[in-house]
Amino acid sequence: VGIDGIRRALTLRFTLRHIEREIEEELADHVERRAQALVDAGMQPASARAEAARRFGDPAALRDACLSEDLPQWRRLTMQTALEQLLGDFRFAIRALRRAPGFTAVVLGTLIVGIASVTAIFSFVYSFYWRPLPYHDAARIVAIAASRPAEPSFDSQVSPVVASRLAHDMRSFERVSAWSQSASDAVIGDQPHDIAMLLVDSSFAPLFALRAQIGRLPSLEEYQSGAKVLAISDEIWRSAFGGDSTVINRRIHIGDDDPLIIGVLPAGFGFPQRTDALGPLPPPPPTDVSTANEQTVSVLAKLRPDITRAAAAAELSVVANRITRDPALRTGAITLSMRPEMLDRRANQVIPMPSLFIGAATLLLLIACSNVANLLLVRAAERRGEMAVRASLGAGRGRLIRQALAEMFLLALVAGTLGALASALLVKVMLRAFPPGRFPAWVSFGLDTRVLAFTVLVVLTVTIVVGLTPAREGTRFDLSRALKVGGDGGIVSSNATRAARRGLTIQLALSIALFIAAGLFVQTYRNVSRIDFGYRAEQTVDAGILFRNDRYVTAASRLQVAMSVAERGASKFWRATIRGSTEPALISNGVPAAHSTPARAVGAPDYRLIPDGDTVRAVKGYRVRARDFAVDDRYFDLLGILKVSGRLFDDKDRAETMPSVVLSQQLATLLWPRQNPLGHTLQHGLHGPAFTVVGVVRDVHDLTGGSRGYNADANAYAYYSIRQVETEDPHVLIEGSAGTVQIASEFPKLLASVDRQLVSYTGTLGGAAPVRFVTRVFGVIMGTFAVAGLLLSVIGLYGVVAYGVDQRRREIGVRIALGATSERIVQMIVSQSLRFVLAGLAIGLVLALAAGRLFRVVLFQVSALDPATYLVACALFTAVAIAACWFPARRAAGINPVSALKSD
């Protein structure tokens, strides 16, 4: 029935077959008339028919001859009629939709909400998970990191000498490129700009297959001489130069230089995050190795296509050994490692479940579509009478279906257009929910047109296909029955209502499951953003000093330098420069075992922590993994680590006074559970000195995201006074509201004021920020889901209940006439509607429980079965459901029985 109906609706009145039949009829008519004439003239009927046929000729050939004459005209006519009918259908559809403004608004609303939210969400998820990284051969690019045995987790930078040795020695690498980054103040025109400079060597551009979009990149000679030339980013070109192509050969003022602009980088290029300008790395002085070591660069390499990462890593360790042993390089003991630079950036930051978001988006799409299907079903039932009247007036079924289709198409068209606009808007609104400039360079959020096209297509297809079902239902009827005024309209339409309610139950189930999932995720975000890390480091720079020459051999002399730097950093002038509110502090990693040399000499360091000298109770290193820090008096203050009990370090803690230790709460509890740790002693290794516990501070947490879910455990820390332990490599921590980039660029000047020959490297603390940020992004996405789902459910519920009330006007009128109070009517309708709402709720809870098992891993500090979330979701949906039923119920209670009985 369906296919035939659709075909009849689509092909027009003048089918070819139709024309053929007409011709055949005409020809047959002629033969019959001739036969009749012959009979009238006295011939026998049988021979008259034979004679008539003989005189007529070959009917098939004649029919074909006629047909070939008719075809051109038929074609023209078909087109014309089709066009006229189409216009007519659309005019009719517009009128019909105008007559039902409520229905139209609700369907359009549903479609627009559906298209906009699904598109926006898909766009975001796509940019996070699947958009190809904006770098050529991203998977083969690795970053080289150097580390020293003493500080196992540091240093992404090496000296240029190491970089060139890597380029020379490593067979596994196709290319090795050194780069470094700096932030400078630039003046372009009259405007000051904060410029992120990327300084690279000549291998960088080929490694990334980077080309200038206009002009050129630095030439080999310019790279070798470190010429003052640069290529500016597309963004700077457009914002500061208005996209003027005469920008080439102009100069801009950066720092103390006036480099020449030679080209414009392609749009969207940023490495490792933002890049405003790219220029040649200053070349190392080739002769003097010791000064060459003062400069450090980051190193990128591109693996040969046929080399596995493991093979490259093996070669790298061999080369690292060779570099270490080469006395000419003076690098000291280093190990080199590599990590997939580009892939890591993505993997470290995203929540490892694209399927979660895709699943949620699909659910939302389903909800929107089922909502529309419900409404269409209800409307089809509602229009049975109208259809019957039109059918009785001669409109064919095909025509009725065609008009229903026209309505769907019109709705879909308007919804598609508005939905596209709305999704663009939604993406803008969502972007505004995030702080600017925090996106990783590879994420370029924006409305994805392919995603939009896909969503619109899905929604429209579903609308039209689903819209056709009610149209077919609505046109299949028994004319006389449907026309019987007020007869069994109720019975017929109750089928439609039942189908609509079934759909609505499923839809409610889906949206409550979605809501619960979103609720859990939003709580995860809240929990992540509320983690008290126990310290604040957003504005703190961790500055290390490279003591590579022979002038600072002893730990004491190195500490002295660091202390001098910190002291100068405490000056009014410096703090004004970086807008620092606290004085710089010192920290050093490493084992603070001033007198533990014997243990070290024996072999493996003794990591045992021995509380109160009680070797029996000695807590093995693997049981309590305390991290040891040597810090100065200002450390806790600078990082805002709060004291819990006892005291922090002060002037009393000097080399010659009693060795003291400050514990983190975690460590204190591990070592002395249910005791006051103050006054107890802690020995580090069997031969270490005993440190007296003088204070306890709050725990410090780390937050990691990534593929294994969230982790924000407290760490067990032991803090020693930097004056009482042998320090390895003191760092200066500097805090200031000028921003970490600014502080990092200023620090070398501070260091130079102590010793001009020293070189520094800087980093930031607080690695939790990106994880928190990404969690926030996804929190916003899931929140959007939840709200959209709830909205759609309310729309659907309202629509169905309102329709049900409309259908029962007569019945309700009778009830009122028989004395039912309006409270009674409201109660009746609400309680009847709640029956299927509760069914949806029950199914939804089961769905949510099942889904919760799947996404447990992305939750943080909230159970997948969190009762509060479930309760809130149930309560909210019930409340909203009651509201959605209550309004139509109120209207029903206000029905005037007289007019209700008269109508229909």
Least distance from another protein to the Cβ atom of residue 76, Å = 10
Instruction: Pick the closer one to another protein by CB: 32 or 258.
Output: 32
The residue from 11, 16, 20, 30 that contacts another protein (CB under 8 A) is 30
Count CA within 13 A, CB hemisphere, residue 733. 26
Three-class DSSP category at 821: coil
The backbone torsions φ and ψ at residue 339, rounded to the nearest 5 degrees and listed phi first, read -140, 150
Q: Which of residues 204-263 bind another protein (CB under 8 A)?
A: none
The yes or no reply on residue 27 touching another protein (CB under 8 A) is yes
CA-CA distance, 65 to 88, in Å (whole number)?
A: 34
The yes or no reply on residue 70 touching another protein (CB under 8 A) is yes
Calculate ∠ Cα 493-498-500, nearest 5°: 95
Instruction: Pick the closer one to another protein by CB: 27 or 618.
Output: 27
Are 450 and 388 contacting, i.e. CB atoms less than 8 angstroms apart?
no
Least distance from another protein to the Cβ atom of residue 18, Å = 12
Q: Which of residues 376-435 bind another protein (CB under 8 A)?
A: none
The yes or no reply on residue 713 touching another protein (CB under 8 A) is no
Q: Show Cβ contacts of residue 135 under 8 Å, excluding neighbours closer than 6 positions.
A: 141, 208, 271, 342, 442
The backbone torsions φ and ψ at residue 157, rounded to the nearest 5 degrees and listed phi first, read -120, 150
Three-class DSSP category at 841: helix
Instruction: Pick the closer one to another protein by CB: 54 or 572.
Output: 54
First to last CA, the chain: 31
Give the interface segment with another protein, choosing from 55-63, 272-280, 342-350, 824-832 (CB under 8 A). 55-63
CA distances from 774 to 121, 175, 220, 524, 780 (A): 14, 32, 40, 12, 10
Q: Are strands 690-697 and 660-664 parallel, antiparallel or unpaired?
A: parallel
Instruction: Pick the closer one to another protein by CB: 34 or 274.
Output: 34
CA-CA distance, 829 to 890, in Å (whole number)?
A: 9
Instruction: Pick the closer one to another protein by CB: 14 or 477.
Output: 14
CA-CA distance, 371 to 363, in Å (whole number)?
A: 12
Give the interface segment with another protein, choosing from 67-75, 167-175, 382-390, 415-423 (CB under 8 A). 67-75
Q: Which residues sit opposite 643 in a β-bridge?
A: 697
Nearest one of 626, 615, 672 to 646, comparing CA atoms: 672
Instruction: Pick the closer one to another protein by CB: 55 or 835.
Output: 55
The yes or no reply on residue 4 touching another protein (CB under 8 A) is no
Instruction: Pick the closer one to another protein by CB: 74 or 434.
Output: 74
Three-class DSSP category at 532: coil
The residue from 2, 10, 18, 58 that contacts another protein (CB under 8 A) is 58
Q: Are strands 540-546 and 759-764 parallel, antiparallel or unpaired?
A: antiparallel
CA-CA distance, 842 to 849, in Å (whole number)?
A: 11
Give the interface segment with another protein, choosing from 56-64, 542-550, 560-568, 597-605 (CB under 8 A). 56-64
Q: Does residue 176 come out as left (phi exceeding 0), alpha (psi in the -120 to 50 range) or beta? A: beta
Burial letters for 489-512: b for 16+ Cβ neighbours within 10 Å, e otherwise?
beebbeebbebbbbbbbbbbbbbb
The yes or no reply on residue 39 touching another protein (CB under 8 A) is no
SS (H, E, C) 455-506: HHHHHHHHHHHHHHHHHHHHHCCCHHHHHCCCCCHHHHHHHHHHHHHHHHHH
The residue from 4, 69, 84, 326 that contacts another protein (CB under 8 A) is 69
The yes or no reply on residue 57 touching another protein (CB under 8 A) is yes
Instruction: Pick the closer one to another protein by CB: 79 or 479.
Output: 79
Are 459 and 415 contacting, i.e. CB atoms less than 8 angstroms apart?
yes
715 DSSP 8-state letter: -
The yes or no reply on residue 55 touching another protein (CB under 8 A) is yes
The yes or no reply on residue 602 touching another protein (CB under 8 A) is no
The yes or no reply on residue 307 touching another protein (CB under 8 A) is no
- Size of residue set near another protein by CB under 8 A: 22
Are 346 and 706 contacting, i.e. CB atoms less than 8 angstroms apart?
no
The residue from 73, 597, 675, 896 that contacts another protein (CB under 8 A) is 73
CA-CA distance, 173 to 119, in Å (whole number)?
A: 41
The residue from 59, 226, 605, 783 that contacts another protein (CB under 8 A) is 59
Instruction: Pick the closer one to another protein by CB: 74 or 454.
Output: 74
The residue from 39, 43, 62, 77 that contacts another protein (CB under 8 A) is 62
The yes or no reply on residue 13 touching another protein (CB under 8 A) is no
Q: Which residues sit opposite 297 in a β-bridge?
A: 158
Instruction: Pick the closer one to another protein by CB: 52 or 329.
Output: 52
Give the interface segment with another protein, choosing from 54-62, 367-375, 411-419, 620-628 (CB under 8 A). 54-62
696 DSSP 8-state letter: E
The residue from 56, 454, 477, 552 that contacts another protein (CB under 8 A) is 56
By residue count, the chain amounts to: 904
Instruction: State the DSSP H helix or E strand holding residue 383, giving kind and residue range, or none if neither.
Output: none
Surface-to-core class of residue 368, CB atoms within 10 Å of its CB (0-12 exposed, 13-18 middle, 19+ buried)? buried
Least distance from another protein to the Cβ atom of residue 56, Å = 4
Least distance from another protein to the Cβ atom of residue 41, Å = 13
The yes or no reply on residue 75 touching another protein (CB under 8 A) is no
CA-CA distance, 374 to 379, in Å (whole number)?
A: 8
The yes or no reply on residue 29 touching another protein (CB under 8 A) is yes
The residue from 4, 10, 25, 707 that contacts another protein (CB under 8 A) is 25
The yes or no reply on residue 22 touching another protein (CB under 8 A) is yes
Least distance from another protein to the Cβ atom of residue 61, Å = 8
Least distance from another protein to the Cβ atom of residue 7, Å = 25
Least distance from another protein to the Cβ atom of residue 42, Å = 18
Give the interface segment with another protein, choosing from 17-25, 442-450, 477-485, 530-538 (CB under 8 A). 17-25
Least distance from another protein to the Cβ atom of residue 34, Å = 7
Instruction: Pick the closer one to another protein by CB: 37 or 879.
Output: 37
Instruction: Pick the closer one to another protein by CB: 37 or 318.
Output: 37
Give the interface segment with another protein, choosing from 69-77, 348-356, 588-596, 712-720 (CB under 8 A). 69-77
The yes or no reply on residue 65 touching another protein (CB under 8 A) is yes
Least distance from another protein to the Cβ atom of residue 54, Å = 9
Are 754 and 561 contacting, i.e. CB atoms less than 8 angstroms apart?
yes
The yes or no reply on residue 687 touching another protein (CB under 8 A) is no
The site for another protein (CB under 8 A) is made up of 22-23, 25-27, 29-30, 33-34, 37, 55-59, 62, 65-66, 69-70, 72-73
